[in-house]
Amino acid sequence: MTEVLTPPYDDFIMLNSGEKIYPQELEEFYTKIAPVKEMCVFTVSGMESIRTSEVLWAIIQPNLDNFREFGEVNLRFVFKERFDNASEELPVYKRLNGFTITLEDLPLTTLGKLNRCEIKEIYEPRVIAGKEGALPVSGELSIEDNVLIESVVGKRILECLKKQSGIRMPIILGDSLELDLGIDSLGRIELTSGLESAFSADLKVETISQAFSVKDLILGITEALRGAKDIPMEDQGVAIGEDYWKEHLNVPPQEETMQMLELTTGFFAWVFRFLFTAFDCLMFKIFFKIKSEGSQNVPITGAYILYGNHTSFLDGPAIGACLPRRPVFQIFYFVFGPYFFRPFIKNRVLRNFVKMGRFIPFDFSKHFLEALRSCYFVLKNGKGLCFFPEGLRSTTGEIGEFKKGFGILAKVTGAMLVPVFIDGAHQAWPSTAKYPKLYPIKVRFGKPLLPGDLEKEGLKMGTKDSYEAICMAARKALIELKIDSPVCHPREGGDPGQGDKK
């Protein structure tokens, strides 16, 4: 483990364990690996009503220009992934226990340095209470802010935000769309439709995807409306209901996207997949002693979604190494584009690689709807799709919450869902490690499930809507598959598990 050398900083924190923490050292370390504008590290006492508890916490003001440049809107997603991966380089006592994101400027001293005492006084109670986002408004609003709120555009936007977020408290200009109102990537797509209905205008997704606060949104929409074109009533955004996503996903992908979706297998594509699959299988057999069980559960024909737990870069290739011959040539992979294919649209070599490998790259901002439309397109054409509903790789190995997009695809397409539990990939290459290590991996395929049955089961569990119901019931099925699967551990005598080794 690599330990960061401690420079001679003046300020330090003494932990209960007796270890010294230099806040500026950690702030500089994390700022180098994440889009941070300002950051303040301090200790928080009394977490979970335990007076003697003391945890290392950070208050983060993100560099929004960086997020806009790369089209990212999910602040927490980005910071968590970057911090979890980088923390492996630090001793355990120097690792952050958590962080709070704020869009507010952090208080400074007269010399322009962080006012650590004031920051701790302001944010420690909020950390203990689990609050994130905008601070309570103190004093009167400026004339400019009052004009924004009282404008026709401002009032309509606030109405749309209240309707979508369901929040009863007054919405203020400093509220974060993500942190305060809970509007994620899919929520922004729905918000776009609602705003188009409210203003009877065609609004670009970029206008809303680049807004982080309510004030950003009002200013952006105001500017966009100056050059917006009226659209016919029949083309206006529809109300959010059961048919909303079917209407939006049924729109064909853009022409440049269609050029990368190869439904038929040409000669060169067949050769590429054959060689790639052979190499994939060979590598996993040699280095990870891969075993599979239940691969006969993967449908040979028709639309289906393989969904699995996500803990490692090895997850997708491990599934591919265990698929029967016919499905392995037909399946598409839903992958996080910014990691691998950020310039894929402009780069011809990468575009051909994406096409022959049958990858559907996505990000969580303006291209997310286009990616979902691509998934809908391939499923409606009777192909398979490999999908990781958690989105973010788990750093603990546990199965996280499923994202709503998974439930939307399942319900709208009616495709069969096949749970896949991947055991050992987290140990072989966790998200916090730079390089993989030798460790046996086992892939277990469960019985195919119908979205309708999962929806009924999920609704009985008290979910809000059909999409969330499918997500919750599907996650439960994957957890049950994990429980029923023999644990893959090299010390328990030989190869991990038994089954139909591919």
Is residue 323 domain-shared with residue 208, that is, in the same domain? no
- Check which CATH number belongs to the domain holding 397 and give it: 3.40.1130.10
Is the pLDDT at 237 greater than 70? The verdict is no
* 297-312 average pLDDT score: 95
Q: Which pLDDT tens digit goes with each residue over 53-77?
A: 788 999 999 999 988 877 678 898 8
Domain-located, residue 284: yes
Is residue 481 domain-shared with residue 351, that is, in the same domain? yes
Is residue 124 domain-shared with residue 216, that is, in the same domain? no
Domain-located, residue 241: no
Q: How far is CA 452 from the centre of its chain?
A: 25
Is residue 324 domain-shared with residue 416, that is, in the same domain? yes
Is residue 117 domain-shared with residue 189, that is, in the same domain? no
In percent, the amount of the chain with pLDDT more than 90 equals: 47
Is residue 77 domain-shared with residue 177, that is, in the same domain? no
Which residue type is seen at 484? Answer: D
CB under 8 Å to 25, separation ≥6 — which residues?
4, 6, 7, 9
* Rounded (5°) CA angle 255-258-264: 145
Is residue 209 domain-shared with residue 272, that is, in the same domain? no
Q: Which pLDDT tens digit goes with each residue over 174-211?
A: 999 999 998 888 888 888 888 888 888 878 777 787 89
Is residue 43 domain-shared with residue 84, that is, in the same domain? yes
**Domain-terminating residue out of 129, 163, 187:** 129
Domain-located, residue 497: no
Tokens of residue 338, six digits: 């910014």
CB under 8 Å to 80, separation ≥6 — which residues?
392
Q: Give the model's confidence band at 147: pLDDT under 50 very low, under 70 low, under 90 confident, else very high.
A: confident
Measured distance CA(44)–CA(140) in Å, rounded:
31
Q: For residue 485, what pLDDT is reported?
A: 66
- Check which CATH number belongs to the domain holding 22 and give it: 3.30.300.30
Nearest to 12 by CA among 38, 43, 36: 43
Q: Which pLDDT tens digit goes with each residue over 396-448?
A: 889 999 998 999 999 999 999 999 999 999 999 988 787 899 999 999 999 99
Q: Which pLDDT tens digit goes with each residue over 77-100?
A: 889 888 988 888 899 999 999 999
Q: Which pLDDT tens digit goes with each residue over 468-499?
A: 999 999 999 999 999 876 654 443 333 333 34
Tokens of residue 31, six digits: 């700022």
Q: Give the model's confidence band at 377: pLDDT under 50 very low, under 70 low, under 90 confident, else very high.
A: very high
Measured distance CA(181)–CA(74) in Å, rounded:
13
Q: How far is CA 271 from the centre of its chain?
A: 33
Measured distance CA(185)–CA(183) in Å, rounded:
7
**31 vs 242, more confident:** 31
In percent, the amount of the chain with pLDDT more than 70 equals: 86
Length of the chain: 502
φ and ψ at 41, to 5 degrees? Answer: -105, 135
Domain-located, residue 136: no
Measured distance CA(370)–CA(436) in Å, rounded:
33
* 138-145 average pLDDT score: 75
Domain-located, residue 5: no
CB under 8 Å to 188, separation ≥6 — which residues?
73, 177, 205, 208, 209, 365
Q: Which pLDDT tens digit goes with each residue over 119-140?
A: 999 999 999 888 888 888 766 7
* Rounded (5°) CA angle 310-311-316: 55
E strand spans, 337-375: 359-362
**Domain-terminating residue out of 101, 129, 157:** 129
Q: For residue 224, what pLDDT is reported?
A: 84
Is residue 380 domain-shared with residue 438, that is, in the same domain? yes
Q: For residue 464, what pLDDT is reported?
A: 81
Domain-located, residue 2: no
Domain-located, residue 6: no
Report which secondary-structure segment, H or E, holds 40.
Answer: strand 36-45
pTM, two decimal places: 0.76
**348 vs 495, more confident:** 348
Q: For residue 247, what pLDDT is reported?
A: 83
Q: For residue 480, what pLDDT is reported?
A: 96
For the chain, the domain total comes to: 3
Domain that holds residue 442: 259-492
Is the pLDDT at 366 greater than 70? The verdict is no
DSSP states of 291-320 as a string? EEE-GGGS-SSS-EEEEE---BTTHHHHHH
* 256-281 average pLDDT score: 87
Is the pLDDT at 144 greater than 70? The verdict is yes
Domain-located, residue 246: no
**Residue 253 DSSP code:** P
Measured distance CA(102)–CA(100) in Å, rounded:
7
Is residue 109 domain-shared with residue 177, that is, in the same domain? no
Measured distance CA(57)–CA(43) in Å, rounded:
6
Q: Which pLDDT tens digit goes with each residue over 323-346?
A: 998 899 889 999 876 655 554 455
Measured distance CA(145)–CA(128) in Å, rounded:
30
Nearest to 395 by CA among 439, 433, 434, 440: 433
For 19, half-sphere exposure in the C-beta direction (CA atoms, 13 angstrom radius) is: 14
Instruction: Return the residue matching tokens 């064909």.
Output: 252
CA terminus-to-terminus distance, the chain: 37
Q: For residue 493, what pLDDT is reported?
A: 37
Instruction: Return the residue matching tokens 């188009």.
Output: 196
Q: For residue 226, what pLDDT is reported?
A: 75
**Domain-terminating residue out of 99, 129, 159:** 129
Is residue 97 domain-shared with residue 18, that is, in the same domain? yes
Measured distance CA(282)–CA(39) in Å, rounded:
46
φ and ψ at 125, to 5 degrees? Answer: -60, -35
Is residue 168 domain-shared with residue 81, that is, in the same domain? no
* Rounded (5°) CA angle 135-141-147: 125
- Check which CATH number belongs to the domain holding 195 and give it: 1.10.1200.10
